[in-house]
């Protein structure tokens, strides 16, 4: 199944992506909602029946413990528990909402945002291939709401709704210390002296907020767009280009993907020299190579403050000043 993952870079270039569809409950429970994540984030899918090293004194949160795969210790997260997690109730016992695997645990091993995690699910349906134009922004039902756990929705073969999960948000909810380290990096950022506007294309609201915070620490003006289509429409509107200094775009977005944004900008004689920075949690070799082929100005780890600062400093061709 996962052998098809290598083709996803070329799919992005055709404004398409592949998603692993899975369930978190037994077929006879509730509506048996289908969930999905981009296969580009997936390293492998395994059945795990080995020992689990539990975190000291804690087994009621999102993190179940640590599993060992070929000598590598990997944190194991319960995806169903996360759907019921509320950051306003950090001490809530989530055990009643656990994925029910009576025997072996079905685990999706993922690499994204420079982290490796195992995600416990109930069952795999199959991989579906969709054009980004078939992906709707936001959640139509379920757990989206104010928590923004659902970034987008699409349809399965039978017309049922598939909810695409914001796994970057799940990572931050499970390991809040990641944000703490980002705060330290933010405090060391230096103002960039420019009156140019930075255009940000990002569908995940937590990721939008992270980028916006970085822009504010850098003292830069910015406009944020939930997808690549909206950004391109603004960029090509009368008078807009003269005010824009650079574009920062995610790769996987509804409607138009980040690679399509990059290609459209490079293929337009008016915008072909505009700096475009790819900001992605999927920083594998094939994505980075394709970004270079399309003449991206930089490829940075998703919302890494120091990398954003360096990329923008180079794109805007100016020095930074201390606060």
CATH entry 3.30.160.150 includes domain 2-174: no
Torsion 234-238-242-243 (CA) sign: negative
Residue 196 in contact with residue 243, Cβ under 8 Å? yes
Domain boundaries, the chain: 2-174, 179-321
Q: Specify burial of residue 149 (Cβ count, 10 A radius: 0-12, 13-18, 19+).
A: buried
Question: Cβ neighbours of residue 269 under 8 Å, at least 6 residues apart?
Answer: none
**Which CATH number describes the domain made up of 179-321?**
3.40.50.2300
Can you give the pLDDT at residue 245? 97
Distance CA 114, CA 60 (A): 26
Angle between helices 285-293 and 258-267 (to 10 degrees): 20
Can you give the pLDDT at residue 1? 43
Can you give the pLDDT at residue 13? 56
Residue-wise pLDDT tens for the chain (323 aa)? 444 444 554 555 567 889 999 999 887 655 689 999 988 889 999 999 877 777 655 678 999 999 999 989 999 999 999 999 998 888 899 999 999 866 688 999 998 877 899 999 999 999 999 988 888 876 544 444 445 789 889 999 889 999 999 998 899 899 887 766 677 788 889 999 999 999 999 988 888 999 999 999 999 999 999 889 999 999 999 999 999 999 999 988 888 889 999 999 999 999 999 999 999 887 667 778 888 889 999 999 888 899 999 999 999 986 544 44
Distance CA 98, CA 65 (A): 13
Model's pTM, two decimal places?
A: 0.78
């Amino acid at each position: 199944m996962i052998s098809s993952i290598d083709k996803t870079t070329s799919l992005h270039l055709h404004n398409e992506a592949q998603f692993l569809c899975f369930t978190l409950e037994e077929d006879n429970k509730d509506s048996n909602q289908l969930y999905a994540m981009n296969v580009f984030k997936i390293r492998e899918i395994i059945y795990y029946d080995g020992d689990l090293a539990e975190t000291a004194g804690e087994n009621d949160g999102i993190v179940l413990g640590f599993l060992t795969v070929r000598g590598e210790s990997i944190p194991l997260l319960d995806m169903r528990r996360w759907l019921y997690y509320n950051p306003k109730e950090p001490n809530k016992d989530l055990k009643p909402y656990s994925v029910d695997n009576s025997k072996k645990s079905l685990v999706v091993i993922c690499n994204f945002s420079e982290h490796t995690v195992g995600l416990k699910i109930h069952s795999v349906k199959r991989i579906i291939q969709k054009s980004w134009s078939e992906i709707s922004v936001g959640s139509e039902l379920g757990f989206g709401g104010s928590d923004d756990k659902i970034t987008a929705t699409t349809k399965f073969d039978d017309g049922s709704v598939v909810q695409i999960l914001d796994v970057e948000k799940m990572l931050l909810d499970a390991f809040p210390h990641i944000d703490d380290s980002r705060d330290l990096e933010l405090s060391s950022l230096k103002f960039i002296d420019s009156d140019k506007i930075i255009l940000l294309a990002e569908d995940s609201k937590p990721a939008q907020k992270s980028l916006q915070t970085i822009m504010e620490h850098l003292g830069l003006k910015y406009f944020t767009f939930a997808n690549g289509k909206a950004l391109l429409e603004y960029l090509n509107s009368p008078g807009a280009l003269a005010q824009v200094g650079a574009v920062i775009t995610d790769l996987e977005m509804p409607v138009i993907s980040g690679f399509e944004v990059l290609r459209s900008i490079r293929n337009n004689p008016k915008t072909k020299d505009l700096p475009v920075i790819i900001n992605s949690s999927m920083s594998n070799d094939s994505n980075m190579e394709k970004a270079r082929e399309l003449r991206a100005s930089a490829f940075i780890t998703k919302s890494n403050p120091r990398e954003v600062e360096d990329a923008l400093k180079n794109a805007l061709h100016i020095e930074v000043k201390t606060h």
